[in-house]
Amino acid sequence: MRDTFVKTLIELAKSNPNIELITGDLGFGVLKPFWEALPDQFINAGIAEQNMTSLAAGMSLEGKTVFTYSIGNFPTLRCVEQIRNDCAYHNANVKIVCIGGGFVYGSLGMSHQATEDIAIMRALPDVAVFAPCDSFETVAVTKAIAEYHGTCYLRLGRGGEKPIHNGPLNDFKIGKAIKISDGERVAIFSTGAICDEILQAREELKSNGINPAVYTFPTVKPLDKDTIIDVANKYDVIVTCEEHNTIGGFGSAVAEVISEFDHKARLLKIGVPDCYSTYVGNQKYLRGQFGLDGKSISKKILDAIK
Amino acid sequence: MDSKQLAWLIRRHGIEMTHLSGGSHIGAILSVADIMAVLYSDILKYDTTNPKWCDRDRFILSKGHAGGSVYAALAESGFFAVDELKTHYQNGSRLSGHVSHHLPGVDFSTGSLGHGLSAGVGMALAAKKDKKQHEVFVVLGDGECNEGSVWEAAQTATHFGLDNLIAIVDNNKMQSLDYCVNTLDAGSLYDKWFAFGWNTFVVNGHDHDALRDKMNTIKNGKPTVIIAETIKGKGVSFMEEDILWHYRFPHDGWEYDCAVNELHKIKPDGVQDIYTPNGIINPKLPDANEINKDIHHTMSETYKPTWNKQEA
């Protein structure tokens, strides 16, 4: 996912000299292709995320489209006020890129686990929020936000995510969910790389006689209200799934939409249950500890529809 | 209008704006007034008919709480009507207490300290990349230099050789609750900026010739900082170096009357006071038995009952 992002950005930046990539001293090896190809459009701001973010706002107000890059919570929580005051309030063309949404850097400990970032970025007016599920969504979102005027947050996994889609998403639109499959009774909404677990859960559910619909939401804000309302009227249960706190994130965003009108579906939010991880382990292991692996997800859904 | 006249008008508007609104930070507006006046009279390139002119110099008041000073400078320079200054802090106004860019002539909104220099570094870096000739000016507070992000920006500016960037530190020696030295003693600001690789100057921040002389970039591959030695509350004797006036506004009665009349004593020729053209006849004077009963805001040694000075 991150290599796909970098490759896509190189292509965009080659044709648009106003694109700048600023890293907070991270991306060893990963950013090398950009650095080599476009040294005049690459900046290492050092380990100083607050300065990096305000600096990006300053550059963008001079006409640049600036991507800031770091991992985990460093490009977001570390400098959230700079994002709010300097980027979003000025409608600055800054694209904040996080590598390692969720438990990607699980073994590195709590400091490196980004599990509240969607909630916090989503709460800021004039920040569009994206969490692609695979390389195809990454390409589409990267291209879209480079064109979009304003502040964006792009939450990526790391690498090696399985492809969810079958090919390039030529019809991608900001703010539109993507249907993976139709189903009955249950519809699963997911955002980000956790979709891989959803597909496994779908197989488990099928073997239990449930055929869920599956949608990915590469855009968390602006949210695809039309699809949510449509699905909420047709299905019995909407399940939201995210590698993120259940408070304030994608599930909460869906809840905000459906709570405002009469509808059929009830909501099951699956995510990290408002806690920090004290477990040590890789992403797969931590997903399991928090019931975010395919098997646990399918069990939670089966329990909910009993 | 020359810089002396503009400085006086910034002070007079500052007194009126905070008086009308009950707004804070008159002490900071008065300390930075001369810096702002020299910038807007003699240094910054701008076009009031085209505030977004791409070759203008960029200006950021990073110590956004002194917003009244930039509003007064902008209005007197012709960006908007002077009359609008009276709306400062008021419902429906464009003039928020801290600087907002939703106003012609303002390049960057501030209010949370420690952001402005980084944004200025970004603007200066973009200008370098695009081979533009304009310059970027950022005014900071000395208290603001508590913020770590200031020093992130300081080393970044040096690293990228931003000799199109000038920072001016309004070194009034006071911050919100006390003297800076009693809060977080930074030692020598000169030594710090110099160590960060900047062209570093110390000038009297109320001496217009001295300020003007140093407000030029030096094309030696280094950013420039001017540490402007100022007096918080400068121009109104009972506000000078009294932390009370970081937050307190000139109330109806002797505070307002005496502040206005003190300014009138130093009014340069050729400027009009649109609020009180001839000062205040029969001003109220402080009464030591009545005043300051309810304003023991601080334990600081800088808190001084201000009537003593008036009586003297």
Taking CA atoms, what residue in A is nearest to B107? A61
ipTM: 0.93
Per-residue pLDDT of A204-234, as tens digits, reads 999 999 999 999 999 999 999 999 999 999 9
> B295-300: long-range contacts (C-beta < 8 A, 24 or more apart)?
B295/B244, B295/B248, B297/B244, B297/B247, B297/B248, B298/B177, B298/B178, B298/B243, B298/B244, B300/B177, B300/B178, B300/B179, B300/B182, B300/B243
Task: Determine the residue type at A13.
Answer: A
Instruction: Kindly report the number of other CB atoms within 10 A of residue A147's CB atom.
Output: 10
**Containing structural domain, residue B57:** 28-229
Q: Would B305 be classed as within a structural domain?
A: no
CA pair distance A51, A32, nearest whole angstrom: 22
Residue B262 within a domain = no
User: What is the CATH number for A37?
Assistant: 3.40.50.970
Domain CATH number, residue B71: 3.40.50.970
Specify the amino acid at residue B95: L
| pLDDT tens by residue, A166-182 | 999 999 999 999 999 99
Supply the pLDDT for residue B312. 37
- A61: closest chain B residue by CA: B123
Cβ contact, residue pair A85, B109, below 8 Å: yes
Kindly write down the DSSP assignment for every residue of B218-233, as one continuous string.
-TTTS-EEEEEE--TT
User: How many domains does the structure of chain B reveal?
Assistant: 1
**Is the confidence at residue B290, as pLDDT, over 60?**
no
- Whether B45 is in a domain gets the answer yes
Q: Which domain holds residue A228?
A: 178-305
Q: Do A7 and A148 have their domain in common?
A: yes
Which residues, at least 6 apart from A15, have a Cβ–Cβ distance to it below 8 Å? none
Residue B39 burial (CB count, 10 A): 26
Residue A166 included in any domain: no
Asked whether residue B272 is assigned to any structural domain, the reply reads no
Query: How many contacts (CB atoms, under 8 Å) link A and B?
Result: 88
What are the pLDDT digits (tens) for A140-162?
Answer: 999 999 999 999 999 999 888 89
Residue B224 lies in a domain: yes
Both A191 and A111 in one domain: the answer is no
Residue A112: name the closest of A120, A123, A102 by CA: A102
Question: Strands A127-130, A219-221: parallel, antiparallel or unpaired by DSSP?
Answer: antiparallel
Same domain, A233 and A123: no
Tallying the residues shown for chain B, one arrives at 312
- Position B208 pLDDT exceeds 80: yes
Contact assignment for B149 to A61 by CB distance below 8 Å: no
For residues A149 and A60, the answer to whether their CB atoms sit within 8 Å is: no
Q: Are residues A210 and A243 in the same domain?
A: yes
Rounded to whole angstroms, the Cα distance separating B40 from B70 reads 9
- Whether residues A195 and A80 share a domain: the answer is no
User: Which DSSP helix (H) or strand (E) runs through B60?
Assistant: strand B58-61
Average pLDDT of chain B to the nearest whole number: 92
Query: B110 with B63: CB under 8 angstroms?
Result: yes
Taking an 8 Å Cβ-Cβ cutoff, which residues of chain A contact chain B?
40, 43, 45-46, 48, 50-51, 53-64, 81-82, 85-86, 89-90
Dihedral angle computed from the Cα positions of residues A192, A193, A199 and A204, in that order, rounded to the nearest 10 degrees: -100
User: Taking a C-beta distance cutoff of 8 angstroms, is the pair A132, A156 a contact?
Assistant: yes
Confidence band, pLDDT 50/70/90 cuts, at residue A27: very high
Helical pair A135-147 and A2-15, crossing angle rounded to 10 deg: 30
For residues A37 and B239, give the distance between their C-alpha atoms in angstroms, rounded to a whole number.
58
Q: Is the predicted pLDDT of residue A105 greater than 80, yes or no? A: yes
Phi/psi at A184 (nearest 5 deg)? -130, 150
Please tell me whether residues A132 and A200 are part of one structural domain.
Answer: no
**Residue A122 and residue A183 share a domain:** no
pLDDT per residue as tens digits for the range A66-90: 999 999 999 999 999 999 999 999 9
B104 located within any domain: yes
Q: How many domains does chain A have?
A: 2
Which residues in A lie closer than 8 A to residue B114 (C-beta atoms)? 50
Pick A59's closest partner by Cβ from B126, B149, B159.
B126
Same domain, A83 and A34: yes
CATH code where residue A292 lies: 3.40.50.920
Using alpha carbons only, give the angle A71, A77, A80 rounded to the nearest 5 degrees: 125
Residue A87: DSSP 8-state: I
Whether B96 shows a pLDDT value over 80: the answer reads yes
Taking CA–CA distances from B136, the nearest residue in chain A reads A58
The pairing of beta strand A151-156 with beta strand A94-99 = parallel
Chain A environment of B125 (Cβ under 8 Å): 43, 55, 58-59
d(CA B175, CA B66): 12
Q: Which of A43, A46, A86 sits opposite B119 (nearest CB)?
A: A86
Which one has a higher pLDDT value, A176 or B243? A176
Task: Return the residue matching tokens 């081979």.
Answer: B131
Identity of the residue in B119, B124, B156 whose CB atom sits nearest the CB atom of A57: B119
Report if residue B67 sits inside a domain: yes
Whether residue A271 is contained in a domain is answered as: yes
Whether B32 is in a domain gets the answer yes
Q: Do B149 and A64 touch (CB under 8 A)?
A: no
Q: What is the DSSP string of B106-133?
A: ------STT-HHHHHHHHHHHHHHTT--
Convert the pLDDT of each residue in A294-305 to its tens digit: 999 999 999 999
pLDDT tier for residue B51 given thresholds of 50, 70 and 90:
very high
Phi, psi of A294 (to 5 degrees): -50, -45
